[in-house]
Amino acid sequence: MIEVRKLRKIYPGGVEAVSGIDFDVEPGEVFGLLGPNGAGKSTTIGMLTTTVAPTSGTAKVAGFDVAKHPLPARRASSVVFQEAVVDRSLTGRRNLEIHARLWGVDERESKARIDELAATLDLAELVDRPVGSYSGGERRRLEIARALVSGPRVLFLDEPTVGLDPLIRAELLDAIAGLRGRTEMTVLVTTHYLDEAERLCDRVAIIHSGRIVALDTPAALLSELGPEILELRVTGSAHAAADALRARGIAGDEAFAVGSTLTIPLRDTSSGEAIATVTDLGIATAISTRQPTLDDVYLRLTGDRLAAAA
């Protein structure tokens, strides 16, 4: 449903936001683009929705090349943007109607869909109020309803929960997860929240500095780290501590540091043995073990940048 081949974007001024990425998204799949701010996620969505011109490479949405056939590609898709992109002085219903009309949904059909989506996304009480009076979460739900009103085959969600408080974020994630059960839509979601990607996505591509550095199912990405993680808050240099643990056969090449926190995937070593070794070396003020999360995968792949930032 989405095919991306060697897609590249260099903005005027020479900033390379996306550096020749490749990926495919299957029909009905929820695919996550995961990465830190500035990784190139929004630029990728911009190119797929034809609001950013690719420098080179190709991308197809629903079989249509976005550069050669932008109108059918746009007709097959909808997008929820990272920032608020609504007419605040118009009512929620009017915002939905405008989308429906521009995407060619006939009037009667659009009315039925608006009522249904307003009920599904808990907007029925709000939909006839000006959008300027909505809270952040309500406006986000409206934008999702708007994207769905044209019945898109492909839905792009660009950081859909960014800037929302935890409760509203949880509600919105429920709403997005609920879309899976009711449609055959293909969804491409960008996020830098790992739990979101883990919860929503069938597969995840981790994007860093414009390049895809990992692409697999969340389970497969997690399995790369083994069954257990040892996490230490080290007293001195994290790199020196990693070297010391490497010499004792506890740490491997997959160990990574973010600030003073050293994270070590445990593959062939038991947690008891690892903790005893750390205690013996006296290099940590805090020690814990836990199961790996997608955060660990992400930090391992993008750790150098985060370490520098820290």
Q: Which residues bind other proteins (CB under 8 A)?
A: 11, 46, 49-53, 71-72, 74-75, 77-79, 81, 84-90, 94-95, 98-99, 101-104, 146
Q: How far is the CB of 68 from other proteins (least distance, A)?
A: 15
CB 241 within 8 A of CB 67: no
Q: 90 or 306, CB closer to other proteins?
A: 90
Closest CB 5 distance from other proteins, rounded Å: 21
Which CB sits closer to other proteins, 69 or 199? Answer: 69
**Which CB sits closer to other proteins, 60 or 75?**
75
Closer to other proteins by Cβ: residue 41 or 75: 75
Q: Output the smallest distance, CB 134 to other proteins, in A.
A: 14
CB of 50 to other proteins, least distance (A): 7
Residue 185: CB minimum distance to other proteins, A: 16
Q: In the complex with other proteins, which residue's Cβ is closer, 87 or 116?
A: 87
CB of 112 to other proteins, least distance (A): 18
> 11 vs 279, which CB is nearer to other proteins?
11
